[in-house]
Chain A
């Protein structure tokens, strides 16, 4: 088990290095010149060159990349020659646009993305798994058909459409919910749990409509499959009650693919729900990433891409490990 974890950890580091290298390389070909962007409207060619030196962009490609990596192992020096400053570990550099420390920017943006993720995941898991289970128990009946139909429809709704329609109806027309504010980052702040919920509710729903549909399908199919397996028939033959059979045996055996999917989705979501954050004006990682990518802000884009990849890989490992605990039939090796 421990050997397995170490192997995965090693693979993860290598993968992150490759991800960072690719992002870094791609950026060298970008359309936006960060040096020109950082010195504003009235920028003579001479000043663009000065900005280039201050940002360290005059150095050769590999020197720049190694300098970036050095910030991941210890503090590094940043800024124009003669006016350098220490950037404490872990140093992801400073934004080309605002000169802000990227580590701080991420720390600022992360709570929003976590708020968005937590609520959406809870909502779609409860709705998706619940409805999937219900449909499986009512297999072939009207309720099953309705749920399956709704799921097919839900999975076909693109986020921009759902998001804008929700805003149009509940905020624009009915006025039942407020516009998202960036003052609320967690349920423990001034606004409290209620304020937090109302602030993120529409964004959660937009995500849940899309995602719970997938959970309905996977739960339903797995439950139906599990119910038809031998050990379930045995349990029924033993005369156990229907509730016990469904929850104690069926759910436990059928939960593995759901956990897998949940883990992968969680990993992907924590890297920033780009569209949802954009539509609902939630200044999380995805929102920050869009802004950085369109303005040529390399350090910020690098950091968020790496963090997102890290989450994806991390949750992959977590999923693999959790198999051993959930399903006794699986052995990690």
Chain B
């Protein structure tokens, strides 16, 4: 019932937004605060429940993989919910962090008193596409595969890092995995290294998708993963087309989470983004949607979103993703200089590079209101993104300011290069020359983690399936390494402070309610941010235009694109 109320509120917001959109001249058509919430989620033609039809999904590139044991991308998770099920599921509601609900399991898990053992029981009547039953052993085997990191180089590791026996080498070399027990065909028991309150979210990851050992074709499993969900693979022509059809062995009675409306999904896998956006805007294919980021929209497409007819076909919603500019705390070690840099940056000009306010909100913190236990966050950054040059210059007086800095960006994205051009001009005001250094996109994050880390680098952090937890944002971005002795692996600013890092290290194993833990992580974050290791910029809002026959289209907070689970098509 609670969910229904939220959705109705959302629908009301759509109407308000629509009215704003078509009234008056130029400026009035833009999303602006004060006339309803411009960032409220928008769901296209909500409440549709007819089955049948084909949804055409336009994509600029093939899925990295369809193998649940080798998939580490939101895109593969989005399509994955159609052909595999997991113990729990991250169920999307537009504009909200996903809700963790039971999927293959009867509940979201029973935890032992010491917090180190989680037990799940499988539902009755679960079957694969060939009619054979889904067993607890298959779920275990699915997890085991993700430990064969030499075979599955992109295997997701969040779940694995929480389990004990992490020296396990996978089923091909390591034999039986001791951290998971399956006393019978229905029961699966996980043993953890240390208590982990968010564990039900971890088992929603694709690791726990069941894989029948007899059907494991290793690296070729991606060509035809055995379906446990409402759809199965009909044909898959790599790089060109993937067709999913109904799996008649899937029993809707075991699965209240998946409406499974269309009869078929047809993925077209190599159309350039500019073509995709033009096709969607012109409604060239009324059954079309896209999974590309930003709805495949190009910077110049924003105007068409103001068109009443097109805005009626545009789903919108916040993602869990917030972009940041990371300052290398090793090369720019003085917090005051970092603060001066932060204050000198024109973040409103950066917002224009994202396509303006419509595509994201300026934020001063990576923590959002959606996070449980959030405490007050203080920031000297101007909330409208304007630079505070005088303050910045005052901070630098008498300091040994670096003359030259390097900004690194992923070479595949125009926007990130443009951000560099904006920064170049802002830093010139402080007497700093900024060099723009392109980094091959495929190696971007490994470069930042290695010796190639520039002085300033953009990064985006998406909270993932568990974005309502402050820890899942603070720890990976600014926390210490596993042993607590240096900065963590994904800590791009290389932030390490004796006292603050130690506090984060201790918080990892702390027990308490979600509220209490959330408040403690928020407090540490606030203190860390006073030293400006990173500058939050944009909280992404995705607009995704869909074809005129598409119904129930919502933008997933976690998936960052149209949620394939709910979408339907009018015939």
Q: Which residues of A contact B (CB under 8 A)?
A: 31-33, 36-45, 47-48, 50-51, 53-54, 79-83, 85, 97-100, 104-105, 108-109, 171-172, 175, 178-183, 281, 283, 287-288, 291, 294-296
15 new A-B contacts, CB < 8 A, other than A43-B445, A99-B65, are: A33-B443, A37-B440, A38-B153, A38-B154, A40-B154, A41-B445, A42-B445, A54-B151, A79-B219, A82-B150, A83-B151, A98-B238, A99-B222, A172-B278, A281-B271
C-alpha gap A83/B411 in the complex (Å): 34
Q: Does A108 lie within 8 Å of B218, measured CB to CB?
A: no
Interface residues of B in 532-565 (CB under 8 A from A): none
Asked if A51 and B268 sit within 8 Å, CB to CB, the answer is: no
Whether B271 pairs with A80 at a CB distance below 8 angstroms is no
Find chain A residues with CB under 8 A from B72 CB.
Answer: 40-42
A50-B153, A179-B279 are known contacts. Are A43 and B446 too (CB-CB below 8 A)? yes
Contact A83 B268 (CB under 8 A): no
By CB atoms of chain B within 10 A, which of A38, A97, A98, A296 has the most?
Answer: A98
User: Contacts A50-B150, A83-B219 given: A42-B157 contact, CB under 8 Å?
Assistant: yes
In the bound complex, how far is the Cα of B372 from the Cα of A241, in angstroms?
94
Q: Which one, A31, A43, A54, A105, contacts B150 given CB within 8 A?
A: A54
> Which residues of B275-290 have CB atoms within 8 Å of chain A's CB atoms?
275, 278-279, 282, 284
Across the interface, which residues of B come within 8 angstroms of A33, CB to CB? 443, 446
Q: Across the interface, which residues of B come within 8 angstroms of A39, CB to CB? A: 153-154
From A36, A83, A295, B148 is in contact (CB under 8 Å) with: A83
Annotate B32-43 by CB proximity to A: 1 below 8 A, 0 otherwise: 000000000000
Give complex CA distance A97, B442 in Å: 9
Residue numbers in A under 8 Å from B172 (CB-CB): 82-83
For A45, list chain B residues within 8 Å (CB). Answer: 449-450
Q: Is B12 an interface residue (CB 8 A)?
A: no
CA distance A251 to B447 in the complex (A): 61
The answer to whether A32 touches B440, judged by C-beta atoms less than 8 angstroms apart, is yes
- Among A42, A85, A108, max chain B CB count under 10 A is at A42
Which residues does chain B contribute within 8 Å of A283, judged by CB atoms? 239-240, 270
Nearest CB in chain A: distance from B297 CB, A: 15
Please tell me if the beta carbons of A180 and B440 are within 8 angstroms of each other in the complex.
Answer: no
Could you tell me the distance in whole angstroms from the C-beta of B56 to the nearest C-beta in chain A? 10
Tell me if B224 is interfacial: C-beta within 8 Å of chain A.
Answer: no
| Residues of B close to A171: CB separation below 8 A | 278
Contact A295 B218 (CB under 8 A): no
Determine if A108 and B240 form an interchain contact, defined as CB atoms under 8 angstroms apart: yes
Whether the Cβ atoms of B284 and A294 lie closer than 8 Å is no
Smallest beta-carbon distance A269→chain B, Å:
20
What chain A residues lie within 8 Å of B284 (beta carbons)?
A: 178-179
Is the beta-carbon distance between B154 and A108 smaller than 8 angstroms? no
B331 in the interface, Cβ–Cβ < 8 Å?
Answer: no
Query: CA separation between A277 and B69, bound complex, in Å?
Result: 34
The 6 listed contacts between A and B (C-beta, < 8 Å) are A40-B64, A100-B239, A179-B284, A281-B275, A283-B270, A295-B440
B interface, CB within 8 angstroms of A: 61-62, 64-65, 72-73, 148-151, 153-154, 157, 172-173, 218-220, 222, 237-241, 268-272, 274-275, 278-279, 282, 284, 411-412, 440-443, 445-447, 449-450, 489-490
Task: Tell me which residues across on chain A come within 8 A of B270, comparing CB atoms.
Answer: 182, 283, 287
Q: Which residue of A lies closest to B220 (CB)?
A: A85
The answer to whether B446 touches A48, judged by C-beta atoms less than 8 angstroms apart, is yes
Q: How far is the CB of B280 from chain A (nearest CB, A)?
A: 10
- Other-chain contact of A295, B237, B442, B449 (Cβ < 8 Å): B442
Chain B residues positioned under 8 Å from A108 (CB to CB): 237-240
Query: A183 contacts which of B268, B411, B442 (Cβ < 8 Å)?
Result: B268
Q: How far is the CA of A171 from the CA of B238 in the complex (A)?
A: 28
* Contact between chains at B272 and A281 (CB < 8 Å): yes
Q: Look across to chain A and name the residue whose beta carbon is closest to the beta carbon of B222.
A: A99
Q: Which residues of B contact A42 (CB under 8 A)?
A: 72, 157, 445, 490
Chain A residues near B279: list those with CB within 8 A: 179
Chain B residue numbers with a CB within 8 Å of A81 are 150
Residues of chain A lying within 8 A (CB to CB) of residue B64: 40, 97-98
B321 CB, nearest partner CB in chain A, Å: 12
Residues of B within 8 A of A43 (CB): 445-446, 449
Quick check: A82 and B173 within 8 Å, CB to CB?
A: yes
- B274: which A residues are within 8 A, CB to CB? 281
How far, in angstroms, from A43 to B237 measured CA to CA in the complex? 28
- Closest Cβ–Cβ distance, residue A308 to chain B (whole Å): 19
Contact A50 B149 (CB under 8 A): yes
* Distance from B240 Cβ to chain A, minimum over Cβ atoms (Å): 6
Q: Are B442 and A32 in contact (CB under 8 A)?
A: yes
Task: List the B residue with the shortest CB-CB distance to A35.
Answer: B153
A32 to B445, CA, bound (A): 12
> Per a CB cutoff under 8 Å, which of A98, A181, A288, A296 touches B442?
A296
Closest beta carbon of chain A to B184's beta carbon, Å:
30
Q: Can you name the residue of chain B whose Cβ is closest to the Cβ of A47?
A: B149
Do B153 and A32 have beta carbons less than 8 Å apart?
no
Bound complex: CA of A42 vs CA of B411, how far in Å?
19
Give the residue name and chain of the A residue nearest to B282 (CB).
A175
Q: How far apart are the CA atoms of A39 and B73 in the complex, in Å?
A: 11
Q: Which of B149, B220, B441 has the most CB of A within 10 A?
A: B149
Chain B residues contacting A80 (CB-CB under 8 Å) are 148, 150-151
Q: Nearest 5 CB-CB pairs, A to B?
A: A37-B442, A281-B272, A36-B446, A51-B153, A283-B270
For residue B452, give the distance in angstroms from its CB to the closest CB of chain A: 10
Please tell me if the beta carbons of A98 and B151 are within 8 angstroms of each other in the complex.
Answer: no
What is the CA–CA distance of A182 and B279 in the complex, to the nearest angstrom?
13
Contact A37 B238 (CB under 8 A): no
With A283-B239, A295-B441 known as contacts, the answer to whether A180 contacts B151 (CB < 8 A) is: no
**Chain A neighbourhood of B173, CB < 8 A:** 82
Residues of chain B lying within 8 A (CB to CB) of residue A178: 284
For B239, give its contact among A38, A85, A105 (CB under 8 Å): A105
Neighbouring B residues of A104 by C-beta, 8 Å: 238
The one of B61, B241, B440, B447 that contacts A296, using a Cβ cutoff of 8 Å: B440
Do the beta carbons of B153 and A54 come within 8 Å of each other? yes
Q: How far is the CA of A100 from the CA of B240 in the complex (A)?
A: 12
Which B residues are in CB contact (< 8 Å) with A82? 150-151, 172-173
Name the residue on A nearest B445 (C-beta).
Answer: A41
B83 → A minimal CB distance (Å):
18
Determine the residue in chain B with the shortest Cβ distance to A37: B442
In the complex with contacts A36-B446, A82-B150, A108-B240, A31-B278 CB distance below 8 A: no
What is the bound-complex CA distance between A186 and B271, given in angstroms? 17
Across the interface, which residues of A come within 8 angstroms of B237, CB to CB?
A: 108
Residues from chain A with a CB closer than 8 A to the CB of B150 are 50, 53-54, 80-83
In the bound assembly, the distance between CA atoms of A109 and B62 in angstroms comes to: 13
